C-alpha cells in the first residue's frame, strides 16, 4: 500500500444536467507528497479542477456525483467522512486558493476578519487569532498589517488580494495547499511575485502543493511533476522537464507546440510611408484621473501594432478613445489624413466602418438573442451602401468560411459555439464592414493556448489576404512576439517605449520593459530554472 500524503485513486465524477450526464473526470489517479509541487495541466473543460474540488468537498451534490474512487489523506478515505469531518480537514489540513481573488473574498467583511475566521473556526481564540492575523499579513507582504486588516477586499489590488487569500489559506499551516489558477487573472510581474511567494512559503512549511493551471510557463516555473489532463482523463504523467522535452501523448505534443513566443523574431523591415492612423498627443481623463497621457504613435497600412502594458496602464482606454467610444480629452487622431476627433457625428459614422473592434469576451460582446446571420448582417442594416440585401446570405456564408466556420452555422446562436468559435464570429462580424483597421482588445486572452494559436493564425492570414492593419492590445508578451510588427509599451497612461518587435524583445531600453520581459514565463522548465538561479544570485 502506498503512503502518500494525498492519494486520489480512480476518481470518477459525473454531473447530472438537463442535457444528460456529463462525465467530468473519469478514472483519475494522482498523488501528492509532502514538500513537492504537483501541477495538473489542462485547458478549460478538461476537468483539471474537478478532482481538487472533490478533495475539498466543493462539488455540489446533486447535480454532481462521485461515481467511483477514493481520496486517501494520511491513509483515511476523505469520501467516507461526515460533512463535519470534511470541514474539519478543510482549512486546517488542506487549504485552497482560487483564481480571481476578488470574487472569492467576501466583499462585506474585512480582510482581517476573514483571515481570523480560518483560525477561529478551527479552535484558536479570537484574541490570539487577531495577533496571528497580523503576523500572517506581514509574512505574505501586505504593507501596514494593522491598517490593512481593517480594510475590505475591494480596497486592495489584485495581487494583494491573492496575498490575502494565501494568508487565509496558510493560517493554520496546512499539510497541503491547492492553488487553482492562482495567477491567471494577474499581471505578469505580479504573477512572478505571487509564484515566488508560494515557493518561499512551500519551502518554509514543507507542505505539499497542488497547482492547477493551463499555463506551461507556470508549470515550468514552479512544478516538479505534471499531470496532463484532457477531456476528463489523465493523458500523461511525469516530471515537468520530461514532459516538456519528450511528450509521449499527441495531445501534450500539440499543447507544447501551440505555446506562443518561440518562433524566430522577424527582422526589422522598412515601414511603409503612408500612415493609416496617426495619433498625436492623445489624452483621456476621468475627472481628476488621467487614464491616458499625451500618447503619440502611428499605424501604417497593413501593419500590426501591439500595445502592451499591465492592467491600469490605459491601453484599453486608449483604444476606446481612438474609436470615440469614449470621447478623448485632448489630442488628434488622423485616419487617412482626417482628424477623427473633429469629425461630425455623420462623418464619423461613415468612417467608423473602416475601423472595427474585436473585444476580449465574445460571450458578452455578441448579443445572445441574435442568430449568427443576424449578428453579421446587422452591419449592412446600419451601413446600407456596402451590400444589397439580396447578397447578404451569400456573403455571410463566405465570411463564416473565411474565419474557419461552416456556412450552415449562420442560423445558430452564440451559446451554441465554443469560446474560440465565438471569437471567430466576432471577427467575421468585424470583417463584414470591410474595415482597414481592426482593434483587438485582448481578443485572444480568454482563449485556451491551442485555440489562441488558431485565432492568431486566422488573424495573420486575414491580414495578408485583406491587407488589414491591427492595433493589438495584449498583456501576454509571447503572443505579441509572434504576431506584431511593432510594440508600444504603456505604463500609467503613458508610452514608456516603442519600437519594432525585434528591438523591444531583444534590446529593451527602459527598465519597465526589461522587468516586464523578465517576468514573463517560458514554457521550458530548464530556462525557468536558469532564470530562477540568476534571480537568487
Partner 1 sequence: MSLTLFAESPSIRTFLGKRAIASAISLVGLVILVFFLSRLTGDPTALYLPVDASQESREQFREIHGLNDPLPVQFARYMGDLLRLDFGMSIRRAEPALDSVLRGFKWTLQLALITMSLVTVMAIVVGSLAAFRVGGVFDRIATFCSLIAASAPDFWIAIVAIVVFSVNLGWVPTSGTGTVWHWILPVSVLFIRPFGLILQVVRGSMITALSSAYVKTARAKGVLDRPIIFVHALRNALLPVITVIGDQAAGLLNGAVIVETIFGFPGVGKVMIDAILQRDFAVVLAAVMVTAFAIFLMNLLIDILYAVLDPRIRY
Question: Which residues make up the interface to partner 1 (CB under 8 A)?
Answer: 56-58, 83-84, 87-92, 95-96, 98, 100, 103-110, 117-118, 121-122, 152, 154, 165, 168-169
The CB-of-89 to partner 1 minimum distance in angstroms stands at: 7
Copy the grid coordinates of residue 290: 488621467
> How many CB atoms lie under 10 A from the CB of residue 258?
18
Nearer to partner 1, 87 or 332 (CB): 87
| Strands of 355-358's sheet in order across | 355-358, 437-441, 469-474, 304-308, 486-491, 494-500
> Which CB sits closer to partner 1, 100 or 374?
100
326: number of CA atoms within 13 Å, CB side? 17
Q: Which is nearer to partner 1, 103 or 391 (CB)?
A: 103
For partner 1, the closer CB: 161 or 481: 161
Please report where in the chains the cell 512559503 appears, as a residue: 201
Nearer to partner 1, 152 or 413 (CB): 152
Least gap, CB of 126 to partner 1 (angstroms): 14
Q: CB of 105: closest distance to partner 1 in angstroms?
A: 6
Name the burial class of residue 35, with classes exposed (0-12), middle (13-18) and buried (19+) by CB atoms within 10 angstroms of its CB: middle
Measured from the CB atom, the residue of 166 and 410 that comes closer to partner 1 is 166
SS3 (DSSP) at 149? helix
Pairing mode, strands 176-180 and 94-97:
parallel
| Shortest separation between residue 154's beta carbon and partner 1, angstroms | 5
Name which of 171 and 229 has its Cβ closer to partner 1: 171
Cβ 422 to partner 1 shortest distance, Å:
23
d(CA 22, CA 377): 35
Q: How far is the CB of 54 from partner 1 (least distance, A)?
A: 12
Least separation in angstroms between residue 228's CB and partner 1 is: 25
DSSP secondary structure letter of residue 413: -
What phi and psi, each to the nearest 5 degrees, are found at residue 375? Answer: -60, -45
Rounded distance between C-alpha atoms, residue 452 and residue 360, angstroms: 12
Give me the least distance between CB of 102 and partner 1, in Å please. 9
Q: How far is the CB of 42 from partner 1 (least distance, A)?
A: 20
Secondary structure (H, E, C), 176-220: EEEEECCCCCCCHHHHHHHHHHHHHHHHHHCCEEEEEECCHHHHH
Comparing CB distances to partner 1, the nearer of 174 and 247 is 174
Tell me the DSSP string of 448-493.
Answer: -HHHHHHHHHHHHHHHHHHT-EEEEEES-HHHHHHH-SEEEEEETT
Amino acid at each position: 500500500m502506498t503512503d502518500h500524503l494525498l492519494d486520489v485513486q480512480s476518481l470518477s465524477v459525473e454531473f447530472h444536467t438537463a442535457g444528460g450526464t456529463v462525465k467530468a473526470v473519469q478514472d483519475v489517479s494522482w498523488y501528492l507528497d509532502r514538500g513537492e509541487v504537483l501541477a495538473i495541466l489542462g485547458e478549460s473543460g478538461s476537468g483539471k479542477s474537478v478532482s481538487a474540488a472533490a478533495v475539498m468537498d466543493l462539488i455540489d451534490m446533486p447535480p454532481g456525483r462521485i461515481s467511483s474512487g477514493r481520496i486517501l489523506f494520511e491513509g483515511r478515505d476523505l469520501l467516507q467522512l461526515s460533512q463535519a469531518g470534511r470541514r474539519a480537514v478543510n482549512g486546517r489540513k488542506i487549504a485552497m486558493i482560487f483564481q480571481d481573488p476578488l470574487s472569492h473574498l467576501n466583499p462585506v467583511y474585512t480582510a482581517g476578519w476573514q483571515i481570523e475566521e480560518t483560525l477561529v473556526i478551527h479552535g484558536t481564540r479570537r484574541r490570539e487569532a487577531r495577533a496571528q492575523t497580523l503576523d500572517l499579513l506581514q509574512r505574505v507582504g501586505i504593507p501596514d498589517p494593522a491598517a490593512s486588516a481593517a480594510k475590505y477586499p475591494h480596497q486592495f489590488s489584485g495581487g494583494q488580494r491573492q496575498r490575502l487569500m494565501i494568508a487565509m489559506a496558510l493560517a493554520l499551516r496546512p499539510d497541503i495547499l491547492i492553488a487553482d489558477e492562482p495567477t491567471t487573472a494577474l499581471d505578469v510581474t505580479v504573477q512572478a511575485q505571487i509564484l515566488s511567494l508560494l515557493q518561499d512559503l512551500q519551502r518554509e512549511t514543507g507542505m505539499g502543493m497542488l497547482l492547477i493551471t493551463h499555463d506551461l510557463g507556470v508549470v515550468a516555473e514552479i512544478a516538479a511533476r505534471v499531470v496532463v489532463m484532457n477531456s476528463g482523463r489523465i493523458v500523461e504523467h511525469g516530471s515537468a522537464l520530461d514532459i516538456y522535452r519528450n511528450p509521449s501523448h499527441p495531445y501534450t505534443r500539440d499543447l507544447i507546440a501551440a505555446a506562443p513566443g518561440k518562433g524566430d523574431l522577424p527582422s526589422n523591415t522598412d515601414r511603409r510611408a503612408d500612415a493609416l492612423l496617426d495619433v498625436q498627443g492623445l489624452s483621456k481623463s476621468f475627472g481628476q484621473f488621467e487614464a491616458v497621457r499625451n500618447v503619440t504613435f502611428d499605424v501604417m497600412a497593413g501593419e500590426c501594432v501591439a500595445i502592451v502594458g499591465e492592467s491600469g496602464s490605459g491601453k484599453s482606454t486608449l483604444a476606446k478613445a481612438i474609436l470615440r467610444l469614449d470621447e478623448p480629452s485632448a489630442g488628434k487622431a488622423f485616419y487617412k489624413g482626417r482628424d477623427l476627433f473633429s469629425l461630425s457625428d455623420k462623418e464619423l459614422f461613415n468612417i467608423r466602418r473602416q475601423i472595427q473592434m474585436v473585444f476580449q469576451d465574445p460571450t458578452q460582446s455578441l448579443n445572445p438573442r441574435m442568430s449568427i446571420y443576424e449578428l453579421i448582417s446587422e452591419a449592412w442594416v446600419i451601413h446600407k451602401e456596402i451590400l444589397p440585401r439580396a447578397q447578404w446570405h451569400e456573403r455571410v456564408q463566405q465570411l463564416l468560411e473565411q474565419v474557419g466556420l461552416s456556412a450552415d452555422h449562420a442560423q445558430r446562436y452564440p451559446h451554441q459555439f465554443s469560446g474560440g468559435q465565438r471569437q471567430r464570429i466576432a471577427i467575421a462580424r468585424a470583417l463584414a464592414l470591410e474595415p482597414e483597421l481592426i482593434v483587438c482588445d485582448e481578443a485572444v486572452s480568454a482563449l485556451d493556448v491551442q485555440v489562441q494559436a488558431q485565432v492568431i493564425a486566422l488573424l495573420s492570414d486575414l491580414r495578408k489576404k485583406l491587407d488589414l492593419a491591427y492595433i493589438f492590445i495584449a498583456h501576454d508578451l509571447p503572443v505579441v512576439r509572434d504576431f506584431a510588427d511593432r510594440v508600444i509599451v504603456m505604463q500609467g497612461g503613458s508610452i514608456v517605449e516603442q519600437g519594432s518587435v525585434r528591438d523591444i524583445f531583444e534590446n529593451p531600453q527602459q527598465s519597465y520593459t526589461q522587468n516586464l520581459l523578465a517576468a514573463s514565463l517560458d514554457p521550458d522548465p530548464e530556462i525557468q530554472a536558469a532564470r530562477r538561479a540568476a534571480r537568487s544570485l
